[in-house]
Amino acid sequence: MAKVRVEDIIKKFNLELVSGGEGVHRTITTSDISRPGLELSGYFEHYPADRIQLLGRTEISFSEQLDSVDRKIRLEKMCDDITPAIIISRDLEVPKELIEASEEYSVPVMRTPMKTTRFVSRLTNYLEFKLAPTTAIHGVLVDIYGVGVLITGKSGVGKSEAALELVKRGHRLVADDCVEIRQEDGDTLIGNAPELIEHLLEIRGLGIIDVMTMFGAGAVRSHKRISMIVSLEIWDQNKQYDRLGLDEEKMKIIDSDVTKITIPVRPGRNIAVLIEVAAMNFRLKKMGVNAAQQFTEKLADVIEDGDR
């Protein structure tokens, strides 16, 4: 999992560092943001100290009504050893007790001119993107008719060659050889290429080609949601392959199960066309049209009529 430090959000959102500068290297481990209203009232039983603490107009105005002793005690308690940062919205004045406590415990206190709700939304989106679980898979990711297809298989099976043919047929390359994947919103997998090999394809015998330069900007895209996996493998005559398509295989990536199709490779098979059709068939199934299921039902009706 990628790390986000307080100094990263200072640069990203152009925040004003008010105090506690020694703690700007603290690590942020969660995208959840806390607005410590109950804590300012004195209740610290379930204080989420590992979250960024955001004080808006409501929290600041409430703290101003506290007597100086209570305000000092409660603001000091908020400056926990694991608290990554405290942010004040709307450019509100920072209580002097908070400045003193933040300097003592090295908890960065920052300020932004943005409204509280808007800033919470932007900061949460940023942290969820940066802190999303990630992995990398050896394969090729192609956008086929809006379906993100991850092509996997052993080295030399023809993944990149199939991707090249798909690009020639008007589809878009996302990544070749290494696909970086992050999990967003619980079960959404987003794939992209490492910056070093973005827009590049490696074809044995030809070397490395720049897809965007050769085929144009419309032949590539920076990232794509992974909807299905096509696994290429050398044809094994002793293996029984699925001929109807009724059984749906799954492959787990991080915490998400993705539909997987295995296509055997042997001379004479147009793999690019098969992958293209697999993507179209996947779209049809999502729209409620399942040819294999319909065929099975018709066959059952025919058999039932023949038995009468």
Q: Which amino acids are annotated catalytic?
A: 138, 159, 177, 243
Q: What string of DSSP letters covers 105-146? A: HT--EEE-SS-HHHHHHHHHHHHHHHHS-EEEEESEEEEETT
Is 202 marked as a binding-site residue?
yes
**Residue found by looking up tokens 């298989």 in the block:** 153
Is 207 marked as a binding-site residue?
no
Which residues contact residue 277 at a Cβ distance below 8 angstroms, ignoring those fewer than 6 apart?
Answer: none
Q: Give the sheet arrangement for strand 256-265, strand by strand.
A: 172-175, 140-144, 147-153, 228-234, 256-265, 249-253
Q: What is the CA 289 to chain-centroid distance, rounded?
A: 29
Is 154 marked as a binding-site residue?
yes
Is 268 marked as a binding-site residue?
no
Is 109 marked as a binding-site residue?
no
Is 3 marked as a binding-site residue?
no
Is 161 marked as a binding-site residue?
no
Q: What string of DSSP letters covers 76-110? A: HHHS-TT---EEE-TTPPPPHHHHHHHHHHT--EE
Which residues contact residue 176 at a Cβ distance below 8 angstroms, ignoring those fewer than 6 apart?
Answer: 140, 159, 160, 163, 193, 197, 200, 201, 202
Is 285 marked as a binding-site residue?
no
CA–CA dist 85, 271 (Å, integer): 53
Is 158 marked as a binding-site residue?
yes
For residue 191, the surrounding DSSP H or E stretch is strand 188-192
Binding residues for ATP: 153-160
Binding residues: 153-160, 202
Binding residues for Mg(2+): 160, 202
